[in-house]
Structure 1
Amino acid sequence: MVFILAATGSAVGLGNIWKFPYLAGEYGGGAFVLVYLLSIALIGIPVMMSEILIGRRGRQSPLNSLKSLVENEGARREWQWIGLVGILSALVTISFYSVIAGWALAYLVRTSAGVFVGVTHEGIDSIFSDLVSDPERLLAWHTIFMVMTTVVVARGVKSGLEQAVKFMMPMLLLLLVFLVVYGSTTGKLTDTFLFLFTPDFSQLSAAGMLEAMGHAFFTLSLGMGAIMIYGSYLPGEVSIGKATLLVAGMDTVIALLAGLAIFPIALANGLAVDSGPGLIFQTLPVAFGQMPDGVLFGALFFLLLVFAAWTSSISLLEPGVAWLVESLNMQRRRAAAWVGLSVWMLGIVTIMSFSSWSFEFEFAGETKHNGMFDIFNILTAGILLPLGGLAIALFCGWIMRRQSVADELGGKEGAGFELWYFVTRYITPLAVFVVFLRAIGVF
C-alpha cells in the first residue's frame, strides 16, 4: 500500500491538477480524454511496468540497478546510462518544478488572506506578473518548497517518504473530492460531464492527439528514475502488473476529478475553460474572488496543488540521494542536503529567466520567451524523458532475457504477459518515438 501511495504521489503532481484540465479544455474535452486514456494503456502502463521491473530486479538506485542488470544480462555497457540520464532529468526537472510549486505556495497564502476577493481579470494578471517578475519573492517561495522536500527525503524511506505519503495522498484525495462536491453546487457539473466524457472528434486536431499521447507519458513520472527507485523498494511477492494498474488508475482518476472540480467553477463564473496554462493561476483566482466562500475553497484548492507538487518533488529528489548513499557511502541526511542545495541553486537560473535573464528563441515552430526555463523544460520533457522511456521499453522488450522479464512478472507467461510483452516491444517504442518527434517539432 505504501508503494501504491508513493508511486501515485510521484505520478500525481502539477501535471494532473494544472496541466490536464487546461489541455482538456484547449483540445475539445471528451475526444482528448479518450485518446489520453488509450495512450495511458499503450504508453504509460507498459513503460511504468518496465521501470518498476528494472528497479525491483536491481534493488538499487537507477544507475546502479542498470549497471547490475547490464552485467547479468550480458548487454552492452552503454545501456547502463539510462539510469544516469533518468537521475539528471529528475534533478533538472525539480529545479524548475520547485519554482512553479512556489507559485502555488504564494497563491495559497494570497487566497487565504482574501487578496483575490473582487479582483478583475486585469487585477489577477497584474498580481501574477508582479509575482513571477520579482526574483526575491520567487526565491523565497522556491527556498521554502525545496526545504520542505529535502527534509522529507533526508528522513529516509521509512520515517520520511512512507510517513509523508501516508498523510499527503489521502489528504490530497479528500481535498479533491471535497472540491468536486462543491463544484456540483454551481449547477454546471452536468455540463462538465458532457464536456469531459462525450467525445466530439470534430473538436480534436492532430496536435490535440499528440498532446494527449505526450501527456499520458509525462503524467506518470516516467523516464526520470522516480518510479524505478520506488520499484527497488517494492516487495518481491507483490504483482508488478496489478500495482501498475492501481497506480495508473488512481493517477487517471485524480486527473479526471481535477477536471470535475475546476470546470464547474470556471463555467459557473463565465470563464473560458480553454484559457491554456493560465487556467489555474490567472483564470480560477477570478472565480474564487467572486464566488461565495471563495476564500475557503480557493485556499483548499491551492493547498491541494501544493500537496500534489510536494509528493512529486520528493520522488524526483530520491534517485539522486539514493545514488550518493550507495556509491559514495554518504550519510542520507548529508546526501539529501547536497542534492537539495544543488537543485536549489539551479532553480535560481529558472527564477531569473522570468526577469533580467529572459530571452527569446525559436523552437519547434514556437517562440519561447523565458530563456533557460524554457530550455530546461524542452531538455527534460521534450528530449530526455521520451528518450529515457524509449530506452527503458527497448531494454525490457529486447535486451533483457525473456525469462528474466517473466520471472520478475510472476514467472507465468500467460495471455496477459504475452500482450504486455508485445505492446512493450513494438507499440510502445513507436508511440514514445512519435511523442519525441512531436516534442522537437518534427510533427
Structure 2
Amino acid sequence: MTMVVVSRGVRSGLEAAVRFLMPALFIILVILVGYAMNTGAFMDGLRFLFAPDFGKLSGASVLTAMGHAFFTLSLGMGAIMIYGSYMPGYASIAKTSVIISLADTLVALMAGMAIFPVVFANGLEPGSGPGLIFQTLPLAFGHMPGGTFFGVLFFVLLVFAAWSSAISLIEPAVTWLVENHGFTRVSACVWSGLTTWLLGLGTIFSFNVWEGAKLFGKTFFDLLDFLTANIMLPLGGLFIAIFAGWVMTRRDSQEELAMATVLYGAWRFLVRYVTPLAVVVVFLNAIGVIG
C-alpha cells in the first residue's frame, strides 16, 4: 500500500493519502478517548499522565525526552526535509514547524488518554512499546463491554498511523534514487519498498523463530531499533543543524524562514551553537557514554 501511494507522486499519492489518513486517524482517536472516559478509570489515566513526580525528574529523563522528540517529530531522518522541499514559496517554515509540534503533542496526549484508562480499568500494569500495544491492550479490550469493536477500532488507528509514517519514511529514499541515480519513481518505490519489507521480516522473526539469534546481546529488532533511534537519528539531526547553521548562507536561510530580524538572529544562534551541542549530548546519552 505504501509503495502504491508513494509511486503516484506528491499530489496524487502523498497529498491524497494524508488528506484521508490524518482526519480519519483523528476521528478514531476522539472516539477512543470517548470510550476511555466511560471505563471508570479515566481519572486514573489522567493522573498517571499528568500528575508530576519530581522525584523521577533527572538529567537522564530530560535527555530521554529530547531523544523521544527526535523520533516522534521525525527529526534527523530526512522526512521533514523532503516534505519541506515540496512546500510552496509563500508558506512560513517557522509557523508550520510550530503547528506540527503542537499537533504532534496534542495527538500524543490524546493517545495516552485513550490507552491508559483502558489499562487501569482492567488492573493491568502500564508498560510501553510493543508489550503495551500487542499484549496488554488486547487483554484489556477482551474483558470490557464493547471491547471487540473498540479493540478493532484501536488497531485500525494503529494501521493508519503506521501507514502514514511509512509513507513519510520511504519518501526520502525514493526522492534520492530518482534525483541522484536516474530511477523512475515507480522503480525507486519498488526497490525501497522491498528493502524495507525485508528488514521488516527480520524484525518480525526476532520475536519468534529468530528470538535466540542475538548480536551484541540484542535481537535483530532491538539492534535495528538501537541503530536507528540512538545513532542514525541524532547524527542525522546533527548534520542537518550543521548544514543549516554553517553551510547555508545567512541570506538564503533568512529568505527561506521569512522571520523578523530579531527572531532570525535568535534562531541562527540556537541552530549554530545550542542545537549541535544538545544533539551531541543526546547522542552520547543514547549510546551510554553519559547518563
TM-score by length of 1: 0.62
SS at match of 2:258: coil
1:413 correspondence with 2:261: yes
Equivalent residue number for residue 272 of structure 2: 425
Separation in 1 of the partners of 2:261 and 2:58?
A: 39
Equivalent residue number for residue 4 of structure 1: none
Equivalent residue number for residue 242 of structure 2: 394
SS at match of 1:441: coil
Q: How does 1:177-196 map to 2 (within 5 A)?
A: 177-196=30-49
Q: 1:427 to 1:322 in 2, by over 3 A?
A: same
1:441 correspondence with 2:288: yes
Task: Decide whether the 8 Å contact of 2:3 with 2:189 is kept in 1.
Answer: yes
Task: Decide whether the 8 Å contact of 1:275 with 1:283 is kept in 2.
Answer: no
SS at match of 2:224: helix
Separation in 1 of the partners of 2:133 and 2:198?
A: 27
Equivalent residue number for residue 132 of structure 1: none
Q: Determine which of 207, 217, 223 is the counterpart of 1:375.
A: 223
TM-score by length of 2: 0.92
Separation in 2 of the partners of 1:182 and 1:314?
A: 29
The offset of 1:166, in angstroms, is 0.4
**Between Structure 1 and Structure 2, how many residues are aligned?**
289
Equivalent residue number for residue 354 of structure 1: 207
Give the residue type in structure 2 aligned to 1:246: I
Identity of aligned residues (%): 58
Q: Determine which of 191, 202, 208 is the counterpart of 1:338.
A: 191
Separation in 1 of the partners of 2:44 and 2:209?
A: 43
Separation in 2 of the partners of 1:353 and 1:254?
A: 30
Equivalent residue number for residue 41 of structure 1: none
Equivalent residue number for residue 165 of structure 1: 18
Q: 1:426 to 1:163 in 2, by over 3 A?
A: same
Tell me whether 201-210 or 377-386 shows the greater mean CA deviation. Answer: 201-210
Separation in 1 of the partners of 2:155 and 2:126?
A: 18
Greater relative contact order, per chain length (Cα 8 Å cut-off, separation 6+): 1
Equivalent residue number for residue 160 of structure 2: 307
Equivalent residue number for residue 244 of structure 1: 97
The offset of 1:392, in angstroms, is 0.9
Ranges in structure 1 where 5+ consecutive residues have no aligned partner: 1-147
SS at match of 1:193: helix
Equivalent residue number for residue 225 of structure 1: 78
Equivalent residue number for residue 84 of structure 1: none
Task: Decide whether the 8 Å contact of 1:223 with 1:388 is kept in 2.
Answer: yes
Separation in 1 of the partners of 2:144 and 2:198?
A: 40
The offset of 1:298, in angstroms, is 0.4
The offset of 1:186, in angstroms, is 1.5
The offset of 1:336, in angstroms, is 1.2
Q: CA RMSD in A?
A: 1.8
Separation in 1 of the partners of 2:83 and 2:128?
A: 35
Give the residue type in structure 1 aligned to 2:214: E
Separation in 2 of the partners of 1:256 and 1:237?
A: 31
The offset of 1:355, in angstroms, is 4.0
Q: How does 1:29-428 map to 2 (within 5 A)?
A: 148-274=1-127, 277-357=130-210, 358-362=212-216, 367-368=217-218, 370=219, 372-410=220-258, 412-414=260-262, 416-428=263-275
Q: 1:407 to 1:387 in 2, by over 3 A?
A: same
Separation in 2 of the partners of 1:271 and 1:298?
A: 16
Give the residue type in structure 1 aligned to 2:213: F
Q: 1:268 to 1:237 in 2, by over 3 A?
A: same
Give the residue type in structure 2 aligned to 1:385: L
Separation in 2 of the partners of 1:332 and 1:391?
A: 27
The offset of 1:206, in angstroms, is 4.2
Q: 1:192 to 1:352 in 2, by over 3 A?
A: closer
Q: 1:391 to 1:211 in 2, by over 3 A?
A: same
Q: 1:276 to 1:219 in 2, by over 3 A?
A: closer
Post-superposition CA distance 1:1-56 (Å, at most 9, x none): xxxxxxxxxxxxxxxxxxxxxxxxxxxxxxxxxxxxxxxxxxxxxxxxxxxxxxxx
Give the residue type in structure 1 aligned to 2:42: L
